[in-house]
Every structure is written in structure tokens, then in C-alpha cells.
Structure 1
Amino acid sequence: MIKKFAAVLLVVALTAFAAAGQTEGGAQGQAPAPVPAPAPTPAPAPAQPPPPVPAQAPGQPSVTVLDTLEVQGILGREVRSLADENMGRIVDVLVDGQGATRAAIIDFGGFLGVGSRKIAVAWQALHFVPAAEKRYGIVLELTRDQVKPAPEYKEGRPIIVIVASGKLEPLP
């Protein structure tokens, strides 16, 4: 279409120029000057709507965008008691066969890592407080005295979890 438009434009321009040259130049006996062919100007591309977003093919992964103000990583985060005691840091999270979170492993006690031990606390005993409301974001419903008798967590051994009531219960 652009080529046809350029060709028609060129014919019209040559015809008009030749006619003008015959009246002016023809009367004086001069040949009309050669007309340079106009450079074809690209026509602006017609506005097209953006292509539709293809439907997600079966089996293709989808994408979820998480706001950094709404989520946080917890491994290595400090845990405080309701009495604002330092309870240790979360070093692992345990899930069951269905992927439900069951317990958090806290590196409890000791000083600068000396004399500390890992204990399992029930996931329901942890509360995640928005940063604007409290200095520490993870609060355990237990005190240090309630957690002290908890047996040490060791991988590959039966797991004893301390729950918010302060009781020790085996993790089924």
C-alpha cells in the first residue's frame, strides 16, 4: 500500500512538474529539468491494540507477587517472650507430610552460642507482630523458665515440642 501511494504521488508530481515546465520552459524552448524522485516516507504504523495476554497453558507455573511489607523471612530472626526476654533465634522450621507448619526450632539459651541448645516449640505458640507495633516481630507465648526443661532437638530422633501451655508433647 505504501509503494502504491508513493508511485501515485510520484506520477502526480511528475505530471504537475512537466505541465509547469511546458508552459514556462516550452515557450522558451528549454527541456524541463529532471525531477528527482521523492524519497518514500514511511507511513506511520497504524495503532494496534496490544496483543492479548495468552491464556496460561496447562502445566505452566503461575506468578505471584509478594509485597515486601507483607512477608518476611524468619530464619535467623530473634524470638522474644511476652515478658520481653530473649528466647533465641529461629534456626529451622518443621513441616509435616502435607506441608503444614508444625514447629519452629529455636537456638535457645547460652551466651554467644556457647551453652545453647536447639528446642522445638509449637508453631501456634509463635506470634508475628507487625514491626510498627513492637520492637521485635516474633513473640513466643512462653517464658524462659517454661522453655528451660524442654529436651534438646536432634535431627533423626523423636521430636518433643513445647506448646503454649508449657507442656511437652511429642510431635506425631
Structure 2
Amino acid sequence: MVKIVGINGSLRSGSYSSQALEIAVSRVQALGAEVEILDLREMTLPFCNGEDEYPTYPDVEKLRRSVKEADGLILVTPEYHGSVSGVIKNALDLMSFEHLEGKVAGLISVLGGQSNSNALNDLRVIIRWVHGWVIPEQIAVGQAWKVFNEEGKLLDEKLSKRFDDFAQSLVDNTCKLRGVSV
């Protein structure tokens, strides 16, 4: 069975990034994939200092193990100052090729302003650098405060369709590139 790990790069409770991740996860699960969400708000992770081991931080091992055992990733980041959040960058920096190489990744960014691809491009470079595969479908949710209702559901049908296409591409490409089935 294809296994996907979802990581949200926002620490804010009830963030639009977490809502976007929940929608992506539900669509991927509907296609038969197993999904584990790593909630960085609930993990105690140090700032990456380039060390190989962080023995006083067991959540580093949990992060590494979960990602290493996964076939694919859903990475969601708010866009801060034209790039990825420090939280998701730090989580990725705590891992190495051993954990990320060969993973298939779907990328989502969430912005308060107009939709663009700055954070998505930066995530794409990071994943490519560690020899991962990024699917072509990506989602930039602009003006996020207009996109979700109070229950976290999407208000825009076109965007909802993009989440469907994103999920299908992630599952299909993960199965192909990793040699697994749903």
C-alpha cells in the first residue's frame, strides 16, 4: 500500500495551511493511500545545527523514521516573506538524503496575498537537491482568508478540482516511481 506523510509548515493553531493539508490528505485517502500527518506543533524539534544525531530530541528520530518509511510526501507551507516557513525548512534540514531520496512530493503553499509560486519553487529546489521527485501539480492558495469556510471546507469549485487533480497525481506518480500499489 502506498504510504504518504503530510507535513504542515505552520505552527499557528487552525492555520489555513493545516486546513489545506487536511483537504489534501482526505483526497489522497479517498484514493486508497495510507496517510500519516506529522504535526510540527506537537513535536519538539531543535534548530538544525548540522549534526547527524540529536539524542535529546526523540522527535527528530520520529520525523526521520516516518519520512524514510513513506513513499511520498505532502508538504504544505505558508509563504513568509516570499519563501517557505522556517518551520518546514528546519524540519527538512533535520533530514538527509537517507530519509528524503526517492520520495515523491506534492507541494502546497498558502498565502494571505495574491497567489504565486515563490515558496513552491523553493520547496521544489529543496526536494530536488535531496534527489526527491516533485509532481507537476502544485497548489498555491492565494488570499486564503477568502478560500475556506468556518469548517475549513473549500469555497471555490475550481480550487477543489485542483486538490482532486493534485491527489490523483500524487498517488499515481508515487505508485509508478516507487513501484507500489494503492
TM over 0.5: no
By relative contact order (CA 8 Å, sep 6+), the higher-ranking structure is: 2
Structure (1 or 2) with the larger CA radius of gyration: 1
What is the TM-score normalised by the length of structure 1? 0.23
Given the two structures, how large is their TM-score scaled by the length of structure 2? 0.22
Please state which structure has a larger fraction of its residues in strand: 1
User: Which protein is richer in helix relative to its size?
Assistant: 2
